[in-house]
Amino acid sequence: MGRRPRQHKLHREEGHPLGRVRGAPGTLRAHAWDYLEALRMQQRTPAAVAGQAKSLTAFFRWCEERGLVRPEEVTRPLLERYQRHLFYVRKRDGKPLSASTQYGHLATVRLLFRWLSRQGFLLANPASELQLPKLPQRLPRAVLSLEEVEAVLARPDVSTPEGLRDRAMLEVLYATGLRRAELAGLSLFDVDASRGTVFVREGKGRKDRVVPLGERALAWCLKYVEEGRPKLASSRDDGSVLFLGDAGEGLHVDYLTQRVRTYLEDAGVEKPGACHLFRHSMATAMLEGGADVRFVQEMLGHVSLETTQLYTRVTVEKLKAVHAATHPAARLARRGEVRGVDAPALTADEVLEALASEDEEG
């Protein structure tokens, strides 16, 4: 199960994310067509390009309703009007757009106008000073306790090929924190049994990484490969997919979500999420176990350390223990009676400096 050299496969040409009609020359739609084509040539993921196309389409419709079709007709005040529109618009269920959705729409529009300016289609960029909404730093919605994890892992019927496959998948999810698309994309040759690692090929942002698999997850993977996978594989199997469906094909990400959700419900776990719930739980467990946030960042494949640091906020048990050990009014017992708790990573001066910075930011 050692890693093999990457193979470059030819894919059929995909349709343009804005559709077949390019738009009249010089219009916003025509320029956006070329902009998205440039993104595709830069090897941006299809999902990322499609997401930008969706945001741009919403912007074009809003502009066209006001008789605006060319980029030079767009001004900063008009973009601010569009920002207010996104803030006040309501979905079919009556709920407003989330801050992240508003941010995504506006960021995409700003990227388009930056490209237009750099390409010389505009003398000035009207979106250069557009202020994007501040995104709330939400914590992961829920994490699994160790008891809940073990209960879920015990649910698959490992006497069947499908159950053996599902047990191996759950073990990999919890051991590595892989995203569901990364799990579905694993090949038979991405698992290195001799090193105890798994090679994640083109994760989010098309970045490769190698992460440790752990002895237990590796053991279940080997058992699945030896006993379960041959019964699921078709005659044309070339080892390109590790986890196979009933017909010997790769698994769709929605199917993974459904399977994991079923096992969570069977185990009596009523927390929101599915595959990503294991990702949150892995990160939180490692941080509570003392792992440096930078190593967890590498495991998760986060580009920004700030994304990983969200997980440090969910280690509530350690926070409670430190509070009980250091705050004079936290408990009746004497200070310092809580054992097994390391000193805070920041000094008092650093904490006060951080608080002052937060006050300045508002």
Tokens 């309501």 label which residue?
Answer: 90
Q: Which of 52, 54, 49, 56 is nearest to 28 (CA)?
A: 56
Q: Among 31, 105, 229, 279, which one carries the catalytic annotation?
A: 279
Indicate which residue of 155, 167, 180, 276 is catalytic. Answer: 276
The alpha carbon torsion through 89, 92, 95, 101 (nearest 10 deg) reads -60
Question: Choosing from 29, 167, 259, 302, which is the catalytic residue?
Answer: 302
179 part of the active site: yes
Q: 10 Å Cβ neighbour count for 116?
A: 22
Paired residues of 269 in beta bridges:
none
- Residue 279 annotated among the catalytic residues of the structure: yes
Q: Contact 247/120 with Cβ under 8 angstroms? A: no
State the DSSP H helix or E strand holding residue 111, giving kind and residue range, or none if neither: helix 99-118
The neighbouring-strand residues paired with 268 are none
* Alpha helices by DSSP H, 195-326: 215-223, 229-232, 253-266, 275-288, 293-300, 305-309, 316-326
The catalytic position among 179, 180, 229, 259 is: 179
Distances (CA, A) of 84 to 74, 77, 80, 102, 106: 15, 11, 6, 10, 11
- Asked if 286 and 301 touch (Cβ cutoff 8 Å), the reply is no
| 318 is a catalytic site residue | no
Active site residue 204: yes
Question: Taken in order 355, 359, 360, 361, is the CA torsion positive or negative?
Answer: positive
Residue appearing with tokens 């502009």: 63
Find the catalytic residue in 40, 44, 201, 204.
204
Q: Which residues are catalytic?
A: 179, 204, 276, 279, 302, 311
